[in-house]
Structure 1
Amino acid sequence: MNQMTSPARISQQMKKIHSKDTKPELILRKALWAEGIRYRKNYKQLPGTPDIVIVKNKIAIFIDGEFWHGYDFENQKKRLHHNKEKWISKINKNMKRDKKDNEQLKKMGWKVIRYPSKYVINHTEECVTEIMQEIVYLS
């Protein structure tokens, strides 16, 4: 095992990952605020603790890390080298939990929007446009 993939190095990289106030979240929140859209962040009163919630219109927005939430998971699996079974199990559980949270929120009358984090970074305006369209539709 070389120095780049040592358990200590991997652990150090994982510690840098945050679950809230990530760069994509900050970008989207700033863009929504600039459009006059007011929201709550990390709303613990709802299943899954959505990253952004527009309470008035019952919109729950999640910004998902591609790896952790299984985006393009079949290709991601090929890149796993350490603790492969552990990560596959964890990500499968995350995807199952995301689906359950989505279903619960929909049953409660909420519109659920999920964006991959890279999509938010590269297509912020499209995200804002979609959210604004939902606000108009739900008003």
Structure 2
Amino acid sequence: MSRIKGKNTKPEEIVRKYLFSKGFRYRKNDKRLPGTPDIVLPKYKTVIFVNGCFWHGHEGCKYFVWPKDNADFWKEKIESNIMRDIRKNKELVDRGWRVITIWECEIKHDKDATLNKLTEQIIGGANAD
């Protein structure tokens, strides 16, 4: 697992490149905030997490399948990731931040629609998950 990229993944790069092209300015992986959000838009008091479907347990997604090998380890690992995500999102909301989560599968399935929706969420102030 030490070789798994946790930062600057392809989906994150796609989202950041899009946001920059639309004039949004952001910070990356801000450690001062709970959960170290992938993208922070201070002007909009919004954070964006670009989650990998497997690592964050995206139920109902074709990219998330419970591993058969070492099943107990993976169940504990992924469930703890899910609980951590919930806890950190709540901390951010309690501090007045808007939290947007984009799933890897959304970008793979319909990148343009996902990115356009993201712009609307940021500007319109809609909370999304």
Unaligned runs of 5+ in 2: none
SS of 2:47 mapped into structure 1? strand
How many Å separate the matches in 1 of 2:98 and 2:82? 18
TM-score normalised by structure 2 residue count: 0.85
Task: Report the RMSD for the aligned CA atoms in angstroms.
Answer: 1.9
Alignment of 1:1-139 (within 5 A): 14-72=1-59, 76-77=65-66, 80-138=67-125
Tell me how many residue pairs correspond in the alignment: 123
Structure 1 or 2, whichever has the larger Rg, is: 1
Q: Quick one: higher RCO (CA 8 Å, sep 6+), 1 or 2?
A: 1
- Could you say which structure has the higher helix fraction? 1
Residue identity opposite 1:64 in structure 2: N
TM-score normalised by structure 1 residue count: 0.79
Unaligned runs of 5+ in 1: 1-13
How many Å separate the matches in 2 of 1:71 and 1:91? 10
Percent identity over the alignment is 40
